[in-house]
Amino acid sequence: MNTKELDAAYVAPTYKRFPLEIAKGKGSLAWDEQGKEYIDLGTGIAANIFGLADDGWIQAVTEQLTKVQHTSNLYYHEPGSRLAQLLCEGTGMKKVFFGNSGAEANECAIKTARRWAFKKYGDESHSNIITLKNSFHGRTITTLAATGQDVFHKEFGPFTPGFLYADPANPAELSALAEKGCCAIMMEMVQGEGGVNALSPEFVAEAVRVAKEKDLLLIVDEIQTGNGRSGKLCAWMHFGFVPDIMTTAKGLGGGLPIGACLLGERVETVLDAGSHGSTFGANPVCCAGAVYVMEQLNPELLDGVTARAEYIRKELEGAKGVEGISGMGLMIGISSTRPASEVVAACIERGVLVLTAKTKIRLLPALNIPMELLAKAIAILKEELGK
């Protein structure tokens, strides 16, 4: 059996895959098993932040791999400590908990918020967390419960209680929700899986105001928006406030699994020895890759993200078949007259990998995609959008 047949026979069918096997890659180019070339504007859903097989990242990862591949959290290791330092210095957060995925990072954020409230009130009276309609926070039972989309709340119940859903189009309703025994407001600055929609500055300002007035924590899920994708290290940095807790994953590991929950001053002492853990969390190889990633995210690279994002918008805004462009930085949603799935299939056929989010076409290119490759891919996308 070939790869596709083996998959059909043995892999749980939870994914609707594109008809394409990725055999190898270099930077923003990928090749299938027959050697057909693709320009990758999806980066494994924002994970391959510098594309495939990036030289510097490979060196960082392999060097660590040949020294120590895993220690467990019973011992110290240099890449974990160094990565925590880089994350805190870059964001102003105080402490980091490492897990292996976005969902796990969000679980930590939720546990931290609840424990903070328990310590403050002495009971579970303020355990509710306000999340947003159309959000996405992960696939565990609790992060699904946090996810404000009804489609995810079926057939797997009972779900974890304690989540209230606010409509980001209706900031005025936040204040009343916050009266209902809450400890935190949790949000993505750009709702990625929900359709690449940035929150309005009005909604964010109201969330910040209500959090302050009601003494709630602000949790920002930067799993997709973080690590420079928005043109700043974190998307919240565009909105003029600082969260109490933030989570990130996807791009952080450069393609290896790692998630991080960053704790600000108000919650830095909430988790103590034994209160939380993860066997593989802060895996040294993943951390070494993430240290390399963090070290590259300098102002020059971030300016390059903004320049590429402006180029894409300039090319596509008002183009034939394009109804609108949403998102921030190199996290772009395109509303099209032609069905998104059809455009994606046509692009793949023509050697360009793009994604969907709800009814939109979604672009998540590598932050360092060479301009000439980007131009070539956008030209093909533009043609397909106009058909």
Ligand X SMILES: *Cc1c(COP(=O)(O)O)cnc(C)c1O
* Binding residues vs ligand X (CB under 6 A): 101-103, 106, 136-138, 188, 192-193, 221, 223-224, 249-250
Residue nearest to ligand X (CB): 102
The answer to whether the beta carbons of residues 66 and 285 sit under 8 Å apart is no
Angle between helices 371-385 and 340-349 (to 10 degrees): 130
Q: Which is nearer to ligand X, 108 or 378 (CB)?
A: 108
For 193, residues 6+ apart whose C-beta sits below 8 A from its C-beta are: 136, 224, 357, 358
Q: What's the closest the beta carbon of residue 139 comes to ligand X, in angstroms? A: 6
Q: What's the closest the beta carbon of residue 9 comes to ligand X, in angstroms? A: 25
What burial class does residue 159 get, using C-beta atoms within 10 Å of its C-beta: 0-12 exposed, 13-18 middle, 19+ buried?
middle
The whole-angstrom separation of Cα 338 and Cα 328 is 23
Q: Which is nearer to ligand X, 260 or 346 (CB)?
A: 260
The whole-angstrom separation of Cα 192 and Cα 123 is 34
**Hunting for tokens 């791999």 — which residue is that?**
65
Q: Which is nearer to ligand X, 126 or 227 (CB)?
A: 227
Q: What's the closest the beta carbon of residue 178 comes to ligand X, in angstroms? A: 22
Q: What's the closest the beta carbon of residue 137 comes to ligand X, in angstroms? A: 5
* Number of Cβ within a 10 Å radius of residue 320: 12
Q: What's the closest the beta carbon of residue 216 comes to ligand X, in angstroms? A: 20
Q: Which is nearer to ligand X, 126 or 365 (CB)?
A: 365
Q: What's the closest the beta carbon of residue 121 comes to ligand X, in angstroms? A: 28
Backbone angles phi, psi at 167, to 5 degrees: -90, 115
Q: Which is nearer to ligand X, 196 or 385 (CB)?
A: 196
For 291, residues 6+ apart whose C-beta sits below 8 A from its C-beta are: 60, 79, 82, 83, 86
Q: Which is nearer to ligand X, 140 or 306 (CB)?
A: 140
Taking alpha carbons only, the member of 386, 307, 381, 293 closest to residue 344 is 381
The whole-angstrom separation of Cα 281 and Cα 375 is 38
Q: What's the closest the beta carbon of residue 155 comes to ligand X, in angstroms? A: 20
Q: What's the closest the beta carbon of residue 107 comes to ligand X, in angstroms? A: 9
Q: Which is nearer to ligand X, 168 or 384 (CB)?
A: 168
Strand partners, 353: 40
Torsion over CA of 242, 243, 246 and 248, rounded to 10 degrees? Answer: -40
Q: Which is nearer to ligand X, 28 or 247 (CB)?
A: 247
